[in-house]
Amino acid sequence: MKENVIKLNKENTLRLDIETADGVKTGEYLEFDLEDIELPLKYQELVDRDEKNKSDLKKQIAIINKRQDVKGKGLLTRNQEDQVKAIQKFFDEEIKIYDIFLGEGGVRKLLNGRKIGWTTLQEIDEIIEKQIAPNLDITMQAITEKIKNKYSRPSEKKENDIEVVE
């Protein structure tokens, strides 16, 4: 008996393989459906929540710095310990925020075993800015054009059409 199979189309999918600095493929990749109309909204959510998270961290650090400092449990003072905890909480939230856009585990894939920090966040921002975001702009233009073409009336004159007069 012949088995019926549905083959899914992967057209309009951006797949970015992840390599180490030495050019060795990690076997991980990020994949984006460029026709996902929510993708630009997820990107905007990343930007908005990232700004809020940074603002919250600045406020927490300012509050901690205004308190009188006392000896902590170990080498650090209590304020230093609280700063470390606030920064760790910030990084944990950043992973969640970036994964909204990059997909579940996206940050972990890009870190490739490294710990998250200021430098790695800058690297991820650069990847998004240079390799992913430009495709979002192109995609939004393409989706808009497809919608216009699909729902415009055939008798309507298109902007780029040339009218030939004899």
Q: State the number of CA atoms in the 13 A half-sphere of 8 facing the CB.
A: 4
User: Could you tell me which of 116, 86, 80 has the C-alpha nearest to residue 99?
Assistant: 116
Q: Is 27 helix (H, G, I), strand (E, B) or coil?
A: strand
The confidence score (pLDDT) of residue 148 equals 77
Does residue 7 carry a pLDDT above 60?
yes
Tell me the average pLDDT across 17-34.
92
The answer to whether 40 and 32 are in contact (CB under 8 A) is no
Q: Kindly report which listed range (13-17, 56-60, 86-90, 106-110) carries the lowest average pLDDT score.
A: 13-17
* CA separation, residue 124 to residues 87, 99, 105, 118 (Å): 18, 11, 13, 10
User: pTM, whole model, 2 decimals?
Assistant: 0.78
pLDDT for 109 beyond 80: yes
% residues pLDDT > 70 (the chain): 86
User: Has residue 40 got a pLDDT over 90?
Assistant: no
